[in-house]
Each structure stands twice: as C-alpha cells, then as structure tokens.
C-alpha cells in the first residue's frame, strides 16, 4: 500500500552523513539504503514522517516534519487554532491511536 506521492518532507544532508546506518535501522518503511558509506533515500514516497531517523541521527543529517497525522486531530487544530493534538493524550476517547 502506498500513500500520496511527493508530499514527504524528508531531507538528507549528505555532507553531514557518516553512513552509520542508524536511519536504515529505525525506518519502518525501508526508505534508506547505505551505499558507499553514505545513507541514500531510495524510496522517499514510502516515508510516513514518523521522525525516527531524524531523532536518532547523531550528526543532524536528517530533517523531517513529523507530527500527529490523524485527520480529526488536524481538523481540531484548525478549528481551535492550535497545534493538532491527538485526542487520547488528554484522556478523551479517540480513534487516532
């Protein structure tokens, strides 16, 4: 199953990458491969912007705009004019996680 194309905000700064392989280890959608001691984004459209790679990149080579990805939270954020909040975090029942 694939989601929308050309929307993922994932960015890799090649100059900072040391090829340690952490990003490939944590990515749940096999977006990265390590080629010639550098990480390469081989499948950007598979990125779900979970943020695992950027969080675990010791060298700051990865950036991705991650956040709560459920529609009801985003709509709630638009109405209330704040950051989208997942319903379950404030103790209310919610389908988002």
Partner 1 sequence: MPVVRVKKVPCCGPESSCCPPPKAPHKLTRVSHEWTLSDSLGEIRCRLGSFRLGYRVSPGLYAIGEPGADSDLLVSANYKLSFDKLRKELKGLSAWILVLDTKGINVWCAAGKGTFGTEELIKRIREEDLSGLVSHRRVIVPQLGAPGIKAHEVRKETGFRVSYGPVEAKDIPAYIRAGYKATPEMRTVAFGAFDRVVLTPMELIPAAKWYLVFAILMLAFFGVSTKGITFAGAGEAYPLLVLGIVSVLSGGLATPVLLPYIPGSAFAIKGWIAGLATTVAFLLIGGTGLSVPLAIASLIFFPLASSYIALQFTGSTTFTSISGVKKELKYALPVYIIGALSSVALLVVHKAAEAV
Nearest to partner 1 of 17, 52 (CB atom): 52
Least distance in angstroms from the C-beta of 23 to partner 1? 10
80/18 Cα distance (integer angstroms): 42
Least distance in angstroms from the C-beta of 20 to partner 1? 9
21/72 Cα distance (integer angstroms): 35
86/75 Cα distance (integer angstroms): 11
The token duo for 93 is 């029942």
Tokens 């392989």 belong to residue: 21
Nearest to partner 1 of 14, 58 (CB atom): 58
Q: Which residues here bind partner 1, judged by CB under 8 A? A: 1-5, 7-9, 22, 25-30, 46-52, 55-56, 58, 65-75, 78, 86, 88-89, 91, 93, 95-97
């Amino acid at each position: 199953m694939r989601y929308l194309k050309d929307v993922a905000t994932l960015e890799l700064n090649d100059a900072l990458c040391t090829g340690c392989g952490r990003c490939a280890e944590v990515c749940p959608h096999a977006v990265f491969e390590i080629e010639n001691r550098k990480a390469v984004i081989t499948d950007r459209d598979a990125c779900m912007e979970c943020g695992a790679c950027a969080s675990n990149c010791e060298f700051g080579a990865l950036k991705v705009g991650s956040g709560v990805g459920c529609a009801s939270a985003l709509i709630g954020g638009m109405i209330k004019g704040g950051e989208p909040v997942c319903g379950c975090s404030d103790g209310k029942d919610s389908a988002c996680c």
